[in-house]
Structure 1
Amino acid sequence: MRRLTEVPLIRKRETVYAIASVLTALLISMACLTGPDSSPPPSAPWDPVDSAWKVIENLEYAYNTMDIDLYMSCFRDDFEFHLLWYNPHGCPAIQDSFWGYAEEEQIHQNMFEVVHAIELVITGSQESPWTGDSTGMSLQLPRTFDLKVYLDEAHTEGYRASGSALFICRQDTTDDQWYIWQWWDLSDTKEQTTWGALKEMFFY
């Protein structure tokens, strides 16, 4: 009966170390070939707008880039902007409490053509069903904002508004896209102006 030859323990360890070294070198070479995933995470502008929060991010992006087409694509045809009644600049009110899609478009066409730059930051992630819609198809998204509109290249002249806003968003059944149906201005009246009053400055 033949006896199995025992391999010394040291030789076994050397073999394991050699295999481990080869595997390590192989993994390093593969990493060098592929490299780390340095692609930026997805961000606005979103297309398709398949979630309510994406339409708010598109609105923020459109303001900062002063893109009127992207901005108006955020709204339903029956859109309403509801004013917080505060008018320190004496601008005539367009309506008693709200205006619609056409006025919103005219205001922002004028604004984006005249101002030099806009800085808008919208924060918040909360969303919940809006009880004001009997169909149960609308979501309310409360947000806080900080808006700066600069009239000159040096960014020394302009207006600032901040505070809160409530966006009522609804998904369109024809294209499954989300749009802003109603926008309620809840600006901080301690600031220089409100978002609604700032908009009214560009209605002419």
Structure 2
Amino acid sequence: MTITGLTADGLEKTKQSVLNAKSNAQVYTVHGDLRTTGFCEQLVQETVSRFGRIDVLVSNAGWSSAGSVYDQSVEVYQEIFDINVTPAVKLTKLCLTYLRQTKGTIVITSSHLAIKPSANFAYYCMSKAALDMFTRCVASEEGHNGVRINNVNPGLTDSGFPQKVLGEEKAAQIFEDSKNFPIARGADPSEIANVITFLAGNKSSFMTGSCVVADGGLICYNPL
């Protein structure tokens, strides 16, 4: 397994989590920024050099910034797409040759906000909707090559992401409000990881082009 991350500390924590779950796992880490020119290529090349093949690509990079379209600059829009969309496209293109050889799978992390609009998050919603459509299009192109691609669309998840985007106080309020959702809480990250594992493995062998919502019923929630 190759994992990459923006911070060395976060990357090491992820590596240790993998090793805690499976002590004999072969975990190769590549520290870097997926936005950096040539880094996606380096990541794929180093993975193939080390392991000789690619069986699964999981694209999980994401960022957001709260603000209205009126207030936020086009530069913010571009930054969100540069993080949320472009690396997923690049890595998919770079990995397809190897995935065709192994009849492999791709899993992309999208969001329930690809489906449900949210004020002050237009650019983020747009970026995730783009990933959903990208997945469907690649599925229609690559199925006959033996490559499957699916998305997971998580809802509110206690991954640290809400706190980074919204701040601790606002995030705490949203998690408190989640008691009103059909499943009265946010997700633990392991619950989303379970969906990703399912989509990456053979138990989902008849699925491609699917956008699997795992949001505890958040899309169904209506406060009225």
TM-score normalized by structure 2?
Answer: 0.27
In our comparison, the structure showing a higher alpha carbon Rg is: 1
Greater share of residues in strand: 1
Greater share of residues in helix: 2
TM-score normalized by structure 1?
Answer: 0.29
Greater RCO, CA 8 A, separation 6+ = 1
